[in-house]
Amino acid sequence: MSRASLIIRKLDETTKQGLRLRAAQHGVSMEEARRILKSALEGTQLPTRLGSHLRERFEAVADTAFELPKRQTPRKPPCWDESG
């Protein structure tokens, strides 16, 4: 699993100090901010795919006879070499 970095701009000093204090109380560094964010999102179910999310959202009003058009094979990109 890859891990991403997150930059939070314009965080007020009171909140920043509160995070530092809470981290110190738990004996960790600013790792506490990661724990708080993770805890805030627990139980949140994010859609895994946009298509599935849209299907669920509009299934009550969608026409069941609708079919997506077949995909076409992408065209070959142009060759810009003078020899090509």
More confident residue, 81 or 64: 81
Enumerate the domain spans of the chain. 10-43
pLDDT tens digits for range 36-62:
888 888 887 765 688 888 888 888 887
The Cα 59–Cα 49 span in angstroms is 15
Is the four-CA dihedral 44, 50, 56, 57 of positive or negative sign? positive
Cα separation, 21 vs 18, whole angstroms: 5
Altogether, the residues listed in the chain come to a count of 84
Position 79 pLDDT exceeds 80 = yes
Per-residue confidence band for 1, with pLDDT thresholds at 50, 70 and 90:
low
Interval 2-34: pLDDT, tens: 677 888 899 899 988 888 888 888 888 878 888
Q: What is the Cα–Cα distance from 45 to 42, expressed in whole angstroms?
A: 8
User: What are the E-state strand segments in 1-84?
Assistant: none
Q: Is 77 left (phi over 0), alpha (psi -120 to 50) or beta?
A: beta
